[in-house]
Homo-oligomer: A and B are copies of this chain.
């Protein structure tokens, strides 16, 4: 192939040719992207000057760092904003900007295992596949719980399993908006179950990758925050907020983290994050989005997305396609269409269902075209 890397430098024209071709492919793909929860509407051109420097947010954003080229101050403000959205007092919260939702989930589960080394981890079969991988990395004992048809965890099955293992701490991995069906595990109900069974050594981590930026902005949210009983939450930055680089945030209680931290001299910080070197751009991008939108901006964005989702359900149903969605969900589920439709719209099917996610860049004309494709 022309322009692949060898030991010699490539001519500038070949380099540019390769980049131009990729950019064209990306531009084309972006217009037909309805299957993933990534908001494609963003403009971070104001941040481009930072890409001329080697920034690095290594270490705890709440500690001083010897590596001066960092955006820790912005990161702390982002964490504080999320504390407000996720309903925990800022002074009780601790968190950092991650490289994406998976790292945030890993962090929450790691913290849980450090607090309760012998715990059993419970999560539903609807949970994102990365959680099984995380639990495996942690070498933790786990029980996979059945899901309901709508994507929520099967509470009866969870109750039974926890009841049988009442002598062991319970770590529950709940999902606030499952990837496939947008199901929201009921945190308050899970808390009540744990209380009913007198399992006091328990921990709930919530994967709120997408809905963690939706529920704070609707009038009648399902329980989702620290007030509902979660101990840690992971939210993605490149999903609803939108970003060219994967990023996210993990939030937990400061008191938990203090037990796990380990002072290290090398970077003059406490090593409380999972990553080591961390991008300074993720925090800057999220900060910039919050600074520009404010709560009202996000509320408008979310309202528009929910309207589009409702429109999509209506259009599908009118054509006789049994599409549905959860309350406060932008994930519209419908029977799996033919493979060419899957490919055209970059959908991620599972078994006999598929979904679209009405992110801000998904327009009604796009939905009309998709529905027509599915109705053929």
Binding site for B on A (CB under 8 A): 4-10, 14-16, 18-19, 22-23, 25-27, 29-30, 33, 35-36, 38-40, 42-44, 46-56, 66-69, 71, 73-74, 77-78, 80-81, 84, 99-103, 110, 113, 128-130, 132-133, 137-140, 179-180, 236, 238, 242-246, 262, 264-268, 271, 274-279, 281, 284, 287-288, 290-297, 342-343, 346-351
Whether A53 contacts B30 by the Cβ 8 Å rule is: yes
Whether B277 contacts A348 by the Cβ 8 Å rule is: no
Contact of A5 (CB < 8 Å), options: B66, B67, B81, B100:
B81
Instruction: Give complex CA distance A10, B46 in Å.
Output: 15
Whether B274 contacts A137 by the Cβ 8 Å rule is: yes
Whether A29 contacts B265 by the Cβ 8 Å rule is: no
Whether B39 contacts A102 by the Cβ 8 Å rule is: no
Contact of A56 (CB < 8 Å), options: B10, B80, B246:
B246
Q: Tell me how many chains of this kind the complex includes.
A: 2
- Distance in Å from the Cβ of A300 to the closest Cβ of chain B? 11
Whether A265 contacts B349 by the Cβ 8 Å rule is: yes
- Distance in Å from the Cβ of A133 to the closest Cβ of chain B? 6
Q: A51-B244, A110-B137 are known contacts. Are A22 and B277 too (CB-CB below 8 A)?
A: no
Closest residue of B by beta carbon distance from A291: B10
Chain B residue contacts of A290, Cβ below 8 A? 5
Whether A36 contacts B67 by the Cβ 8 Å rule is: yes
Q: A23-B49, A350-B265 are known contacts. Are A84 and B54 too (CB-CB below 8 A)?
A: no
Chain B residue contacts of A236, Cβ below 8 A? 277
Whether B54 contacts A266 by the Cβ 8 Å rule is: no
